[in-house]
Amino acid sequence: MKVLVTGVKGQLGYDIVNECKKRCIEAVGVDVEEMDITDAKQVENVITDEYDAVIHCAAWTAVDKAEDEVAMCRKVNKDGTENIARVCQQLDIPLMYFSTDYVFDGLGEKPWHEYDERKPLNIYGQTKYEGELAVEKLPKHFIIRISWVFGVNGNNFIKTMLRLGKEKGEVSVVDDQIGSPTYTYDLAKLCVDMIQTQEYGTYHATNEGICSWYEFACEIFRQANMNVKVNPVDSSAFPVKATRPKNSRMSKKELDKHGFNRLPAWQNALKRYLKEIL
C-alpha cells in the first residue's frame, strides 16, 4: 500500500508517516513546499494513480487569526480540501480528512454524535465544516473529528503549560470548556488501521475521558512533578477573537459500530507523551 500524507510538518502528519513506516506501508509526506493544496494544478500533478489513498492532515489551524484572515483560512481549509477531494474522486481512491469539534456550537453537556447538526461558532470551524461537505461527496471517504491535539512535532497546550510553569510558577486556565485531549501518536495508529479498511464514514477520535482545560493543566503539572499554582478562571478572563465551544464532548458511537478500538485514557496518553518530551 502507498499513501500520500499532507501536512507532514504538523503534529499529526508527522506521526502518521512514522506509523506507516513501522508497518511497512509506503508513506509519502508532503507539505506546502511539495504541494500547495490551494493550487489545483499542483494537486493534480502530485496526487497520481500510484497512490492507494490520501490522508489529508494539512489545514489552517490558527483559530483567532482566521477571524481576521477569513479568505486565506477558507482557501486552505475549504478550497484546498476541495482540490484534493476532486482528484481523489477522479482516481477513485479513498480520502481521509481531519475535522474538529469546532464544527458544533458547543452548547449543552451531552456528547456530540457523529451526525449531529453542525453549527460552527467561528471562522475556523466554519471552514472545516465546508471541508467536510467537500469530502462527504466522495463514496470512499473518512472524516475524523479530533480535539485538543498534542504531539511531539509542534507546539501545543502541554508545551505551553510546561514553559509558563517554569517561567512564572503560576498560571490561570479556563475551567468552563470541557473536552478530550488527543495524542497524535495514538490517533495515528487508529488512522493507519482505518485507512486499510473500507469502513468509510464519519468518526470521532479522541483519547478516552473528559476534562476541562484547568483539569488538564493540573494533571500536566502533577505528572511532570512541577510545583505550579493553577488558578481556574472563566473563559471571559481571556477575551479572544474566535468564540470557543464550551462543550466538546464527543461520542465514539461510530468507532464502536465499525469495530475500531478506542484510544487510551488521556491521562495515560499524557504520561507517555511527557516521557517523550521531558
Contact indicator for 51, 27 with CB cutoff of 8 Å: no
> Which residue in the list 124, 185, 203, 273 is annotated as catalytic?
124
Q: What is the CA radius of gyration of the chain?
A: 18
Q: In this structure, are strands 211-212 and 178-179 parallel, antiparallel, or unpaired? A: antiparallel
Rounded to whole angstroms, how far apart are CA atoms 90 and 103?
Answer: 27
Q: 3-state SS string over 20-69?
A: HHHCCCEEEEECCCCCCCCCHHHHHHHCCCCCCEEEECCCCCCHHHHHHC
Distance CA 189, CA 194 (A): 9
Cell triple for 199: 469502513
Residue 238 has φ and ψ, to the nearest 5°, of -125, 80
Residue 124 annotated to the active site: yes
96's grid cell:
481521509
Region of 52 on the Ramachandran plot (φ > 0 left; ψ -120 to 50 alpha; else beta): alpha
Q: Which residues are catalytic?
A: 124
